[in-house]
Structure 1
Amino acid sequence: MEKKFFWRLKKWEVIAFVMFYFFFASLYYVTLWINWGSSDKSDSSFFSLIRFIDNCGLQYLIFFLFTVPIWYLVFQQFRGRKLYFRLLIHLVTWPIFVFGTQQVYYSISETLGFGHLEGASAVWDVYIPALFYLIQFGMLHAYEYYKENQRKLILEGELRQAALKSELAAIKAQLNPHFLYNVFNTINASVPAENEKTRNMIAQLSDLFRYQLRASKTDVVTLEEELDFVKKYLNLEKERFKDRLQVDIKVSKDLMKEKIPPMLLQPLVENSVKHGLASLIEGGTISIYIFKEEGKLKFEISDTGIGIQNKQNVFGKGVGLTNTKLRLQKMYQSHLELLDNSPKGLTVKFAI
């Protein structure tokens, strides 16, 4: 992935923007040169740096300096707002740009002894900035739309690929689930009665398979059902880790009937166990905190494991985090946020 230069811009985008200004300044210079009288042409070569700065370079530099804060306001500060709201901002910034650049250009030109249009001809120093503003910001909005469309196409492609992998995994997993249940029951029945702990573990494992099969056939489950599945998974992990694994779940009872996609939490919890705590001799704690705020259900899954240094590169490597990220983007336009836990470990946050 190409690194950002600054303000979410790539280096080639900054260069292209500068070249855009140089092109229009040069085009304006050529237009002026063609319209100069014969005496002016004989006194000066086609390109004179002083004349270039005098006639157009200074003016387009001022255009650029006025454009940067307007661009930052529209495309950075309010980048998440509706398009109509950002277009309304232009109704304010357009006249500021047009008349502001004219007055600054005239003031600097008079201070430096450069010439500028006067009288009726000064209307061109209103018309040209106004037209240039429309051209440049029209192109910037069009480019933003193009980038957003490309991002959606890439996301849709990733989702199709993830869906295909999930379908293939589901096909592989459908090894006659009823056969699996019968095998589990047979094994359970063969375990001596005094080994009640082993019988419970087999029963919990059977419940996990049953829930996974149900998850492949339904779009939503209650939060209570999802948490029950996660608890059974963690109970089996605790048999392996013993006292090295501690679990802390904080969820209000009035949220238990909330509807969420199935298998949303377990991949994140499994990631915390597998990649966060498994390698630590002392183990650690898995914390699940779910609450409702501003009409949204918010999730925080934390561990006290080894954490992740490069949090952006983790996506695409692990199936659990990547698929959950794609599901949240597609279903809720929500983002999976990875943060450092305190004093150590990783915290995963998202809202639906």
Structure 2
Amino acid sequence: MSAKKEKHIPLSRNEILWIALFYFVFAFLYHITIKFNGYGRDVSLFDHLLNPVNFVRTSGLHYFLFFLASIPIWYLVFVKLRTWSMRNRILMTLGCLPVFVLSTQQVYYVITEYLEWGHLGGTGQVWDIYIPALFYLIQFGILYAYEHYKENQRKLIIEGELRQAALQSELAAIKAQLNPHFLYNVFNTINASVPAENEQTRAMIAQLSDLFRYQLQASQTDLVPLRDELEFVRKYLDLEKARFEDRLKINIEVAESLMDEQVPPMLLQPLVENSVKHGLSSLIEGGSIHIYIFKEEGKLRFEISDTGIGISDKAAAFDKGIGLKNTRIRLAKRYQSTLELLDNSPRGLTIRFAL
């Protein structure tokens, strides 16, 4: 869930109309009930039902007070306390019931006495407690049921979107496997067509083909031996050396005992590529890349250092390209590890992390 506070969605026009209809229906039914219980015996049923003054006197005012008293309670339990558990919100709603009943009853009595409309008296006043309480429970019961319905609809929409996203991810993964496989075969075809005397070109095409083959294999597994990952990085750097020639120096320092350690595939190459592309490529004299992997306190630790131009704004570096950003996300999600960017001495950048 987002760290931002969830905003309440305002009521739609249709929801407001349904609320108005709900109150009108209940008020009108109460209006009919009052007539059949002897109110206005001297007035015919037809005239009684269609007389707006009678409607306001018998039920309209009372239900309008219900509406006004319901607004702050609705706002409290459905907006302000929305993050509370359903149990606690229902308890709060029940706790507001006496306030709702007594406040609407007393205000109704004051207004009707002032207007000399009259109201129930004696033991009959119990109906001005029972009916508001019953209406209150029905009203908020419907509101909670409607909220539950909307929440289920929202979940169904989210589940549909997640299924669609999963399908798209699955298709993207299939394409990610097909593309390297296709290119791998194409490189082999090109390599076979290159004349034997162009041995260096044939070797570079073969290395590039191996890179795509490793990428294809990496897309089908979660972990690979460190030996395979380093071999992939070496072939990538060999191709870069063909461009940089003597301007690029490479040093890989890893104990033989660590070569069978399991690591995520395609973990080091984006970091090494970052050093070449952003650290060394702009330097006429070139530079060096040093990869140091060792084990300490039960963790496999990595340091990739270069003698390039370095990075002044290290926080912003994760927003400039996908290599550092994606590697940081992979490490955080799988190992709860942090990707550190440090200044190298005397110049350049050092990247550190641990598995």
Could you state the TM-score of these two structures normalised by the residue count of structure 1? 0.51
- Tell me the amino acid that sits aligned with residue 262 of structure 1: P
Residues 1:303 and 2:306 are matched in the alignment: yes
Task: Report the CA distance shift for 1:168/1:324 in structure 2 as closer, same or farther (over 3 A).
Answer: farther
The reply to whether residue 268 of structure 1 matches residue 278 of structure 2 is no
1:323 alignment counterpart: 326
Shift of the alpha carbon at 1:176?
A: 4.9
Picking from 215, 220, 228, the partner of 1:217 is: 220
Deviations 1:16-47 (A, max 9, x none): xxxxxxxxxxxxxxxxxxxxxxxxxxxxxxxx
Counterpart position of 2:55 = none
Q: CA deviation at 1:308?
A: 0.3
Q: Which residue of 2 is the match for residue 202 of structure 1?
A: 205
Map of 1:70 onto structure 2: none
Verify the 8 A CA contact 2:290 2:304 in the aligned structure 1. yes
Deviation at 1:315, TM superposition (A): 1.4
1:184: Cα distance to partner? 1.5
Q: Which residue of 2 aligns with 1:339?
A: 342
Distance 1:169 1:203 in 2: 26
C-alpha separation in 1, matches of 2:169 and 2:317: 19
| Distance of aligned partners of 1:260 and 1:166 in 2 relative to their CA distance in 1, 3 Å threshold | farther
Which residue, 246, 249, 253 being the options, matches 1:250? 253
Partners of 1:304 and 1:346 in 2: how far apart?
Answer: 7
> Cα 1:212–1:294, aligned 2, differ >3 Å: closer, same or farther?
same
Structure index of larger Rg: 2
Counterpart of 2:190 in structure 1 is: 187
Alpha-carbon shift at residue 302 of structure 1 (Å) = 0.3
Give 1:173 deviation, angstroms: 3.8
Q: Partners of 1:178 and 1:258 in 2: how far apart?
A: 27
Residues in 2 aligned to 1:283 and 1:248: alpha-carbon distance in whole angstroms = 14
Residue identity in the other structure for 2:219: S
2: CA distance, partners of 1:277 / 1:172: 33
Q: 1:292 & 1:347 partners in 2: Cα distance?
A: 18
Which letter does structure 1 place at the counterpart of 2:237? L
Equivalent position SS for 1:300: strand
**Stretch deviating more after TM superposition (190-199 or 214-223):** 190-199
CA distance in 1, matches of 2:186, 2:327: 31
Secondary structure of the residue that 2:289 maps to in structure 1?
strand
Match of 2:281 in 1: 278
Would the alpha carbon gap of residues 308 and 328 (structure 1) be closer, same or farther in structure 2, given more than 3 Å must change? same
2:231 & 2:202 partners in 1: Cα distance?
Answer: 18
Q: Aligned in 2, Cα 1:165/1:290: closer, same or farther, shift over 3 Å?
A: farther
Matches within 5 A, 1:37-186: 170=173, 172-186=175-189
Are the equivalent residues in 1 in contact too, given 2:181–2:212 (CA < 8 A)? Answer: no
| Greater relative CO (CA pairs within 8 A, separation 6+) | 1
Q: Once the 2 structures are TM-superposed, how far is the Cα of residue 164 of structure 1 from its aligned partner?
A: 10
Is 1:233 paired with 2:236? yes
Change beyond 3 A, Cα 1:328–1:176: closer
Give the secondary structure class of the aligned counterpart of 1:234. Answer: helix
TM value normalised by structure 2: 0.51
Q: 1:206 to 1:294 in 2, by over 3 A?
A: same
1:316 partner SS: helix
Q: Secondary structure at the match of 2:317?
A: coil
Uncovered stretches (5+) of structure 2, i.e. residues with no partner:
1-165
Q: Which whole-Å CA distance do the structure 1 matches of 2:178 and 2:304 have between them?
A: 32
Q: Name the CA shift for 1:341/1:184 in 2 (closer, same or farther; >3 Å).
A: same
Contact 2:251 2:289 in 1 (8 A): yes
* Paired residue type of 2:280: L
For residues 230 and 351 of structure 1, what CA distance do their matches in structure 2 show? 18
Distance 1:220 1:280, change over 3 A: same
| Runs of 4+ residues over 6 Å off in structure 1 | 163-169
Deviation at 1:172, TM superposition (A): 4.9
Aligned to 2:352: 349
RMSD: 2.2
Q: State how many pairs are aligned.
A: 191
**2-side partners of 1:280 and 1:165: how far apart?**
41
Q: Following TM superposition, by how much is the alpha carbon of 1:171 offset from its aligned partner in structure 2, in angstroms?
A: 5.1
Counterpart secondary structure, 2:305: strand
Q: Which amino acid aligns with 2:311?
A: I
SS at match of 1:200: helix
